[in-house]
């Protein structure tokens, strides 16, 4: 089975390794956002496809038998493009998307970063990655911004930038939030076990949690939540 695996997540790397071990020919695709990405097993290609039309062309030229979209739950544009391109090219398509975190009634769920930026004040721990930090640039609050690489655009006037890549443990999260006197945590509902400890730390310290809700999956796509379920799907579609 020749598989195009849209990656950039831990689950995608797990699936790449398991897919290669199961005898599939796996090409992982990365957007190329970070300079030093964690690389999966198997072939790797880097960079955008050039929208839906570019991806259709790539699928047809590459002779792929299937596409698994294991991008981040918030990579909504790529997920939408993949669904449309696969439908157009007639290539079987699956979304592997891990479940969100268990929702605590105390979390303040918001639809987007603009709403989150309006909801915060005081000392804020911003753990949303680097791409959308500009949405908070007009805020008067103080931000501890944690990301793998520096944000590309405008940043809030009052902030500290902490460059770090997870996983992050509970003791370290507690120490960091105490040390910076954090009052509000802003996070996307990524569902990642590697970054879940901050939620427990926030609960223990009585820190408010503003959580950005997940984008919906495109209508009609087939989706699973685990690497094992994606492997089962591949087995059913091969041969």
Note the residues at the interface with ligand NAP (CB under 6 A): 6-9, 29-31, 33, 48-51, 54-55, 71-72, 74-78, 81, 129, 131, 188
DSSP character for 224? E
| Rg value, the chain, Cα | 19
Under 8 Å CB-to-CB from 27, ≥6 apart: which residues?
A: 2, 3, 4, 5, 42, 43, 44, 45, 62, 64
For residue 1, what are its two tokens? Answer: 């089975």
Q: Which is nearer to ligand NAP, 216 or 236 (CB)?
A: 216
- Report the distance separating Cα 26 and Cα 17, nearest Å: 9
Q: Which is nearer to ligand NAP, 69 or 183 (CB)?
A: 69
Q: Which is nearer to ligand NAP, 4 or 182 (CB)?
A: 4
How far apart are the two ends of the chain, measured CA to CA in Å? Answer: 8
Report the nearest approach of ligand NAP to the CB of residue 11 (Å).
10
- Report the distance separating Cα 58 and Cα 140, nearest Å: 45
Report the nearest approach of ligand NAP to the CB of residue 207 (Å).
21
Report the nearest approach of ligand NAP to the CB of residue 49 (Å).
4
Q: Which is nearer to ligand NAP, 183 or 234 (CB)?
A: 234
Report the nearest approach of ligand NAP to the CB of residue 170 (Å).
21
């Amino acid at each position: 089975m020749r598989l195009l695996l849209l990656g950039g997540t831990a689950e995608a790397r797990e699936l790449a390794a398991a897919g290669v071990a199961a005898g599939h020919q796996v090409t992982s695709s990365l957007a190329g956002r970070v300079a030093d990405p964690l690389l999966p097993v198997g072939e790797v290609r880097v960079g955008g496809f050039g929208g839906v039309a570019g991806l259709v062309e790539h699928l047809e030229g590459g002779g792929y038998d299937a596409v698994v979209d294991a991008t981040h739950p918030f990579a909504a544009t790529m997920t939408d493009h993949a669904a449309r391109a696969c439908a157009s090219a007639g290539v079987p398509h699956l979304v592997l998307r891990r479940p969100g975190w268990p929702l605590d009634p105390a979390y303040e769920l918001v639809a987007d970063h603009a709403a989150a930026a309006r909801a915060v004040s005081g000392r804020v721990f911003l753990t949303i990655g680097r791409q959308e930090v500009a949405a908070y640039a007009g805020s008067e609050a103080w931000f501890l911004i944690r990301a793998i690489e520096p944000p590309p655009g405008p940043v809030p006037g009052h902030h500290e930038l902490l460059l770090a890549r997870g996983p992050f443990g509970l003791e370290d999260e507690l120490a960091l939030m105490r040390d910076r006197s954090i009052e509000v945590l802003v996070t996307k509902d990524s569902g990642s076990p590697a970054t879940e400890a901050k939620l427990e730390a926030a609960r223990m310290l009585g820190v408010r949690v503003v959580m950005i809700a997940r984008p919906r999956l495109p209508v009609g796509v087939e989706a699973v939540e685990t690497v094992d379920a994606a492997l089962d799907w591949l087995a059913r579609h091969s041969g």
